[in-house]
Structure 1
Amino acid sequence: MFSPDHSHFTTTDARRFDGVDTWVFDLDNTLYPSDARVWPQVDERITLYVMRLYGLDGLSARALQKHFYHRYGTTLKALMIEDGVEPHDFLDFAHDIDHSTIKLDPALGSAIERLPGRKLILTNGSRRHAENVAAKLGILDHFEDVFDIAAADFVPKPERSTYERFLDRHGVDPRRSALFEDIARNLLVPHDLGMATVLVVPPVLDPFRERFEQEAVKEPHIDYITNDLAGFLAEQVLPEKGAGQAA
């Protein structure tokens, strides 16, 4: 994690944002802070789904859920392969959460609105979930579209085919785009494809998420790391774009 005095980190050979005309954002744990209490609710709903499907107690269902996650990348992918679960039913159940804990984020909204070019959401969740959360944050209208797990044919990130399908569907040139994501491994393929990559980590560890998902990994495929997305956009991206336009 970062110290309170250091909210942003840049690698020495980071790909700059000059020429970027498409800004791509993951949803969960990227566009909202941990205190929004969104992901813990989704995680609990997934555990409940596994409990009911297999007739397990809570602890056993939780253990199986995490086994599925580590083996298949998402619990949904595991359930589709192992038991032929209908994905839309699962997603509707998992994302049936209370959105009242999500607060408007004017700073993030202002920063995203000012980004020049297209803005897209790329998520392993559902379109409905992304739209509901983004609307509560007050940022939905700034995005052109959502590329969700259904659009990816239910193949989750970090599979290369998912990013390629996304780029093709929306006509995105990876060399002119930037991706903001909360899990380091999900940035490996995008960086290889030519995207500028930004890892978004929480200011403090979230006990409801696994530690590896929150690590500020300083690896060659990660250009920037931040624990303050709105601040990063305002301080690191927009001044640069403004300077380029003034010149």
Structure 2
Amino acid sequence: MINTPPPQAFTHITDWVFDLDNTLYPHASNLFSQIDVKMTSYVAQLLQLPREEARKVQKQFYKEYGTTLKGLMERYQIDTDDFLEKVHDIDYSWLAPDPALGAAIRQLPGRKFIFTNGNRGHAERSARQLGILDHFDDIFDIVAADLTPKPARETYDKFLGLHRVDSQHAVMFEDLARNLVVPKALGMKTVLIVPKNFEPTFSEIWESDPEYTDQVDYVTDNLAEFLESILQGRAA
């Protein structure tokens, strides 16, 4: 279900919080698939497993711990800096600049943040390629989160406390409904970003979150258009 916010629905928002991967850039770009492949290779090399087996381990870690990195930390005490550097060594030219998204973000009143389970370098390179980096006040990455990924409650609390964000006046944009459970409970508006026309790309069934849809206030497959509708509603 794609829904448009009613007029005035976001007039109270002063802090705009965006996930990065498959949220600020479109799922169809398939950029995250490069990271996914790199993570599988990392697991295969670390554990000396065939690629198919390594991918199963990687996905099990994702489901059990929230990220592959967290699973590797818990089970194998890896060098986290080495992991983050290797899996984010990708080709960012896959992302096309998005002037419409940049214009919409720039016009949003208040502060804008990127809140990602990736690292700052990846967020900066992605946002710079999109042409939107300069519109954000700060980036809260997995290192700032002490390597504890969303959807852990403590990670949201750390973000809100660090930036003194009033959750009652904030909104979270995410591509995973499970990562909107805590923001919803904290009183934030929640917006789920879905692939354009729900067309599948590299995602598997396990990535869907049907049990968490009650945590979602709005759903859109076009972030720029959604933000433009918010701006129009605020101006009405």
TM-score band, normalised by shorter chain: over 0.9
| Contact map agreement 1:124 1:157 (CA 8 A) in 2 | yes
Are residue 24 (structure 1) and residue 28 (structure 2) matched? no
Distance 1:122 1:179 in 2: 9
Distance 2:199 2:181 in 1: 22
User: Tell me, which stretches of 5 or more residues in structure 1 are unaligned?
Assistant: 3-7
Distance 1:65 1:46 in 2: 7
**Residue number in structure 1 paired with 2:223:** 229
**Residue number in structure 2 paired with 1:196:** 189
How many residue pairs align between the two structures?
234
1:240 aligned residue (226, 233, 236):
233
Identity %: 50
**Residue number in structure 1 paired with 2:31:** 38
Q: How is 1:115-194 mapped onto 2 (pairs within 5 angstroms)?
A: 115-194=108-187
User: Tell me, which stretches of 5 or more residues in structure 2 are unaligned?
Assistant: none
**Residue number in structure 2 paired with 1:54:** 47
Distance 1:46 1:90 in 2: 8
TM-score by length of 1: 0.90
Q: Which structure has greater helix proportion?
A: 2
- Structure 1 residues 192, 34: closer, same or farther in 2, change over 3 A? same
| Contact map agreement 2:181 2:212 (CA 8 A) in 1 | no
Q: How is 1:36-115 mapped onto 2 (pairs within 5 angstroms)?
A: 36-115=29-108
TM-score by length of 2: 0.94
| Contact map agreement 2:9 2:233 (CA 8 A) in 1 | no
Are residue 211 (structure 1) and residue 196 (structure 2) matched? no
Residue 163 of structure 1 and its aligned partner are, at CA, apart by 0.3
Residue 16 of structure 1 and its aligned partner are, at CA, apart by 2.7
Distance 1:104 1:189 in 2: 31
| One-letter amino acid of the counterpart of residue 226, structure 1 | T
- Secondary structure of 1:153's counterpart equals coil
Residue 35 of structure 1 and its aligned partner are, at CA, apart by 2.9
- Secondary structure of 1:100's counterpart equals helix
- Structure 1 residues 75, 215: closer, same or farther in 2, change over 3 A? closer
| One-letter amino acid of the counterpart of residue 56, structure 1 | L
| Contact map agreement 2:15 2:165 (CA 8 A) in 1 | yes
Residue 210 of structure 1 and its aligned partner are, at CA, apart by 2.5
| Contact map agreement 1:10 1:223 (CA 8 A) in 2 | no
Residue 83 of structure 1 and its aligned partner are, at CA, apart by 0.5
| One-letter amino acid of the counterpart of residue 217, structure 2 | D
Residue 36 of structure 1 and its aligned partner are, at CA, apart by 2.0
| One-letter amino acid of the counterpart of residue 105, structure 1 | D
| One-letter amino acid of the counterpart of residue 242, structure 1 | A
**Residue number in structure 2 paired with 1:5:** none
| Contact map agreement 2:170 2:189 (CA 8 A) in 1 | yes
| One-letter amino acid of the counterpart of residue 228, structure 2 | A
- Structure 1 residues 169, 27: closer, same or farther in 2, change over 3 A? same
- Secondary structure of 1:185's counterpart equals helix
4+ runs deviating over 4 angstroms: 214-218
| Contact map agreement 1:182 1:213 (CA 8 A) in 2 | no
What value does the CA root-mean-square deviation take over the aligned residues? 1.8
Distance 1:214 1:99 in 2: 25
| Contact map agreement 1:124 1:148 (CA 8 A) in 2 | yes
| Contact map agreement 1:11 1:222 (CA 8 A) in 2 | no
